[in-house]
Structure 1
Amino acid sequence: MVKEFTEDDDALLAELGVEVEEKKAQTRTPREERIIAGFEEIQRFVEEHGRAPQHGEDRDIFERLYAVRLDRIREQADCRELVEPIDHQGLLAGSAPSSSSATDELDDDALLAELGVEAEAPPITELKHVRTSAEKKAAEEIANREKCEDFETFRPLFEQVQSELDSGLRETRPFEMKAEIQPGRFFIVGGQKAYVADMGETTITAQGRTDARLRVIFDNGTESSMLMRSLQRALNKDEAGRRITDPVAGPLFADHTIDGDEASGTIYVLRSKSDHPVVAENRDLVHKIGVTNMSVQKRIAGARLQPTFMMADVEVVATYELYNINRTRLEKLIHRIFEPARLDIEIMDRFGNPVVPREWFLVPLSVVDHAVERIKDGTIKGYAYDPTQARLVKREKF
């Protein structure tokens, strides 16, 4: 049983030469409470991961911020003294950043913010520290966001979107209007992919405009509860702000536009007016097939001076307008299909240098039409061009 000391006990101890320290009620300022709370967050990180937080672009932004905060606490004597009694993990024994690094002088509020202290805390003086670009980035990224606790639920979505961007199933386009912000859509803002996971009830602002609270998940594992208009402003302000289109499951391009479609370019089929013997003998079969994002007439202007047009004027025999398509990938697809019929001739450019044009094929126009239809219905991957039969044939394996 533990017996508490009484006043008589204190007097007896005093006679024995033992000083009794008078107990005082411990009070802390709001600033000190916040610094301790910030240090306890670092301790929880250490308990969870078994190590101190570290700097590095490949680290989670929360870990990077904890690393910055720990460095600042180690550097400031009053901060060290404050948290030393609770440092059961020996975190203060670590080394602070080298003073040889590039330094910036930071105002009191900014440093306190890095220590987990709000700007309204009482100011302190003469605070200097080392702050790398990585640390600055960490502080900026953390603003107005928090860790997404269920990010593993969303990670596969971001991976799928990236895969679909790589394959051309999705594209990015400039953000234009607030109406594009809907649940289930992806955007790029601040260099990060953002997913609108949820949208609350639509409200009307004092200015008569619609707004709603969003849950936005970012591909770096953070999330933000922001208003629709806030996301709109962020996308408009960001010159690189983009909307990621929805996947196109069926046709690669359409015969007509619908709301939200964006013209991507034109497939063109040309015939050459060249007097080259091979061309002259097969004029109805020799076709140049390409894809352009400009008007076809502009594309073929000055054809007689360009080796790609065989240094001769051309005739446009067919065009197909595209929507929501990756022009480069489509052109490669078409050229792969007709590769067995690629024309292999050499001409001289205007400087007398030999050139082999690469986009001309010995193929009937009707087969090009057939290929376009197969592209439109999504079955083209199952076909190849057979020059011996002058038609598309089904591939056994694809």
Structure 2
Amino acid sequence: MARAFTEDDDALLAELGVDVDVKKAVSRTPREERIIAGFEEIQRFTEEKGRAPEHGEERDIFERLYAVRLDRIRELQECRDLVEPLDHQNLLTGSAVKQSIDPDELDDDALLAELGIEVEAPSIAELKHVRSTAEKKAAENIANREKCDDFETFKPLFEEIQKELNSGLRETRKFELKAEIEPGRFFIVGGQKAYVAEMGEMTLTDQGRTDARLRVIFDNGTESNMLMRSLQRALNADGEAGRRITEPNAGPLFSDQTIDGDEASGTIYVLRSKSDHPLVIENRELVHKIGVTNMSVEKRVAGAHLQPTFLMANVEIVATYELYNINRTKLENLIHRIFEPARLEIEIMDRFGRPVLPREWFLVPLFVVKEAVEKIKDGTISSYVYDPKRACLERTET
């Protein structure tokens, strides 16, 4: 067994002209640990949403707080230097866009945080379980519904939408913009499908923002004459569950051939983990992380052993597929939906001992991933779903 060098050994080696590189364990102050932990929360948000947190009253409170925190980290050089080695998503190079804050949309703690005032321990006199103004508005928006007397007119629309979702002709994606709210479009809010049947005249609010009265029909036979901004808030308050149901999708998602003027817009990557987790060891050849990135895959996986999304372990790049002129987030969501039946259920601990559930790992053979990519290229993937029992793509009934 090799023994550690003593001071005498180091002195002897120095006499012989041999440099001794003594690596000391990195010691962090509690403040530095908080900064790193806060940055890792921003990274997890970016990983889940496919974008950095943004300002704006249409965003939920947590996203706005993450956006303010990211601005501060970008502004303070000591913070930038501290988290730069962990920044695999290029968050520090983004531009911090400041937007106005609507105080009515934030509770007291969130408003203080937006103003850069750190909130310490709560006051003894603090009231518990009191909802913020935004929460009250969201609850009122959902509650103000009544029976839809002509629901039989709309019921076939909801049935057809469900068939098209099942067949892959339509899909759902995260709601993002108020401009998406138009007559004839479908959404998922509060766990229910919602159809915008009518839209009144567009008006301006006292704050100079556009709004309009809607007639929204829900798949449970109720309706609401809510404002456009009220539906927007309800969708944003749902987080990932607030969805837009897309228009019917036709044609291939991308071309594997470049032509003059085309630019590569991303890469599908397939990784194999080197983790010593028992579940990974047992299924090493089947456990794959499948994702889409706009940077080099080598840069994307740099520092994998420090990131929960990579199971806190180094990885092996086993396959890559270059894309052209494609919406990366949409494509990644499609791939994950196809392999959802084989998603790996695994819990790991991050650097601070907190449990994390990575969502991009699947128990899928590599040859099936390759087959799925080919079907994405030729536009037939919507007719298939992955069968984990047979380990193959199965054609769905239409």
Same fold judged by TM-score > 0.5?
Answer: no
Which fold has the larger relative contact order, with Cα–Cα distance below 8 Å and residues 6 or more apart in sequence?
Answer: 2
- Give the TM-score taking structure 2 as reference length: 0.37
- Give the TM-score taking structure 1 as reference length: 0.37
Mark the structure with the bigger radius of gyration. Answer: 1
